[in-house]
């Protein structure tokens, strides 16, 4: 009996050790087994409630598949201001905010060259695939690495990185500095996918073939609702006074004959400004998966994909429009198409996808006003005129205010020096004047942001969006649901129609965040998460170093 008991004891110990070793081996395998392809999707101007408002009409293979088969972070917010396209795409993929990555807006005033610059413009490169000199673009203004860069570094530049979007900045900023290529759509009279010599000297054969097939031209057709209009109960009336529509059509109501309207709406650009722009983007992304053989080996590739048409449609028609609802139902179908191709080409359990947005959007302020909700418009041109006059009267010097843009005021440092004015005192006086203006909610100075740290509220959001070398000298924020419409935001939408974004309020900061695929748990959370958490979480999934400016934290509950 004594020997039998000893034998049983030894067997149990060995069994315990074997189980422990198996578990360790299993964990080691999971830690080091990366997906063949990571697809990072950004839906431009997607509010979180577009998931819930339109949920019943979504199919099973797009948004619903991601929610049911993956992980849904229901309380994800941008943790900085301004909530624009350029900063949004940069922050998602770098894991940090404009304070570090330097993309403080789409356009901003550069004190050094004393003019506005564009976040992706680069005069040292040439455009390829187009005759336009306006398409010279690169990520050279982005000051940190992206998750795509880190994957390239980790794989000794063997893992491919491809960026795709209708907008150049939506293609370029996410995929970073080391990308094999970024492709964006040149509309106007051309209708082609293009790139720049920052990446390569000529377009690959598959891109040239895609352009030659005139797929873009096939979308010059009638845009009507995907489903019967009567079923679109999650949006307002089709006929209303809050939508801009297209030039050449008297009312902003379905249907829209894009072929008829194209000549008065900048040619191929009308496709970008319709739901069909997302379908064209999906067509090109599918061609890229095949043409670049993404996800075909064990070395992880990265595809960054931004759907821009949701933003264009939102600006023109607004958050509550039938057009925005139809755009999302069609995008859902395009996601289903994309995932079906990924299942077949890469393998259903071999890729990982995340989907989020670069910002949300406000309800059309004139619509809110009609419902007696505080809202309105800020006349930025009139404000700048009065501010310059006040500065001249107060300091007896002309030219102190060099620029007003992105709700920031830039001083001319040379004028201040010549007049022997103390910048700190000028800041205070100018800030006090701005705070007296109607529709201005809060004002902060350069000195305030460089001498201390804010940890909560709007001040913290503004400070995280503040870059010491690139941002202005005085920063102000408007009252809730009050917006500025000018050429920086939209060249199409009239002042009192359509929607926009840019604030630190929940309608602009609250966006979807969905993960699905290899290495991802099934579930959801209401825990507050930040947009900057995405890149370090993907880095943890891949077992690589996070982007070099990362300020976010890993979301462990998302990962298996």
Q: Which residues are catalytic?
A: 85
DSSP states of 310-326: HHHHHHHH-TT-HHHHH
How far apart CA 247 and CA 244 sit, in angstroms, is 9
The residue with tokens 């202005």 is: 472
Q: Which residues of 17-55 are buried (b: 16+ CB within 10 A; e: fewer)?
A: eeeeeeeeeeeeeeeeebbbbbbbbbbbbbbbebbebbe
Distances (CA, A) of 37 to 2, 33, 331, 339: 58, 12, 21, 12
How far apart CA 513 and CA 41 sit, in angstroms, is 10
The separation between CA 150 and the C-alpha centre of its own chain, rounded to angstroms, equals: 19
How far apart CA 385 and CA 401 sit, in angstroms, is 10
* Long-range contacts from 326-330, C-beta under 8 angstroms, 24+ separation: 326/223, 326/225, 326/226, 326/232, 326/254, 326/275, 327/274, 327/275, 327/278, 328/50, 328/54, 329/54, 329/57, 329/58, 329/226, 329/227, 330/226, 330/275, 330/276, 330/278, 330/279
Cβ atoms < 10 Å from Cβ of 189: 11
Sheet holding 529-530, edge to edge: 510-511, 76-77, 529-530
Beta strands in 221-289 (DSSP E): 222-223, 256-257
The angle subtended at Cα 420 by Cα 414 and Cα 422, nearest 5°, is 90
Whose CA is closest to 216, among 178, 183, 182? 183
How far apart CA 456 and CA 476 sit, in angstroms, is 17
Q: Is residue 532 classed as helix, strand or coil in its secondary structure?
A: helix
Whose CA is closest to 75, among 460, 356, 456? 356
DSSP states of 488-502: TT-SSS-TTSS----
DSSP bridge pairs for 128: 195
Provide Rg for the chain, Cα atoms: 25
Do the beta carbons of residue 226 and residue 57 sit within 8 Å? no
Do the beta carbons of residue 364 and residue 240 sit within 8 Å? no
């Amino acid at each position: 009996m004594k020997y039998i008991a000893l034998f049983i004891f030894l067997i149990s110990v060995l069994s315990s050790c074997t189980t422990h070793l198996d578990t360790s081996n299993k964990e080691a395998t999971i830690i080091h087994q990366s997906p063949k392809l990571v697809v990072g999707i950004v839906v431009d101007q997607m509010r979180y409630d577009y998931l819930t408002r339109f949920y019943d009409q979504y199919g099973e293979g797009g948004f619903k598949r991601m929610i049911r088969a993956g992980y849904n972070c229901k309380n994800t917010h941008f943790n900085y201001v301004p909530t624009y396209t350029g900063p949004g795409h940069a922050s998602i993929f770098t894991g940090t905010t404009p304070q570090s990555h330097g993309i403080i807006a789409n356009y901003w005033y550069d004190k050094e060259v004393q003019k506005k610059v564009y976040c992706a413009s680069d005069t040292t490169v040439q455009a390829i695939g187009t005759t336009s000199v306006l398409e010279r673009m690169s990520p050279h203004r982005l000051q940190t690495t992206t998750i795509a860069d880190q994957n390239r570094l980790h794989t000794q530049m063997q893992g491919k990185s491809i960026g795709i979007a209708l907008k150049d900045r939506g293609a370029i900023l996410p995929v970073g500095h080391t990308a094999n290529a970024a492709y964006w759509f040149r509309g106007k009279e051309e209708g082609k996918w293009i790139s720049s010599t920052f990446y390569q000297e000529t377009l690959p054969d598959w891109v040239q073939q895609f352009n030659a097939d005139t797929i873009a031209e096939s979308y010059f057709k009638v845009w009507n609702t995907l489903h019967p209009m009567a079923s679109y109960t999650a949006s307002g009336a089709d006929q209303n006074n809050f939508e801009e529509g297209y030039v050449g059509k008297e009312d902003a109501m379905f249907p829209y004959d894009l072929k008829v309207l194209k000549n008065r709406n900048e040619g191929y650009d009308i496709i970008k400004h319709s739901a069909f722009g997302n379908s064209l983007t999906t067509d090109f992304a599918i061609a890229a998966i095949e043409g670049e053989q993404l996800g075909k080996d064990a070395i992880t590739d990265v595809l960054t994909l931004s759907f821009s048409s949701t933003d264009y449609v939102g600006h023109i028609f607004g958050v509550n429009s039938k057009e925005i609802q139809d755009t999302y139902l069609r995008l859902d179908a395009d996601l289903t198409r994309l995932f079906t191709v990924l299942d077949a080409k890469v393998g259903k359990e071999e890729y990982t996808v995340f989907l989020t947005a670069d910002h949300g959007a406000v309800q059309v302020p004139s619509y809110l006003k009609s419902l007696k909700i505080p809202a309105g418009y800020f006349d930025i041109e009139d404000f700048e005129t009065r501010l310059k006059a006040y500065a001249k009267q107060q300091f007896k010097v002309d030219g102190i205010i060099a620029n007003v843009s992105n709700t920031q005021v830039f001083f001319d440092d040379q004028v201040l020096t010549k007049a022997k004015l103390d910048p700190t005192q000028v800041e205070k006086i100018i800030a006090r004047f701005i705070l007296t203006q109607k529709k201005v909610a809060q004002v902060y100075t350069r000195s305030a942001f460089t001498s201390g740290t804010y940890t909560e509220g709007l001040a913290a959001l503004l400070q995280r969006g503040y870059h010491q070398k690139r941002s202005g000298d005085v920063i102000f924020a408007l009252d809730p649901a009050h917006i500025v419409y000018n050429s920086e935001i939209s060249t199409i939408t009239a002042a009192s129609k359509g929607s926009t974004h840019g604030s630190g309020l929940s309608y602009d900061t609250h966006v979807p965040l969905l993960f699905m695929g290899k290495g991802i748990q099934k579930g959801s959370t209401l825990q507050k998460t930040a947009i900057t958490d995405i890149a370090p979480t993907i880095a943890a999934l891949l077992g690589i170093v996070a982007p070099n400016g990362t300020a976010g934290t890993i979301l462990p509950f998302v990962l298996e």
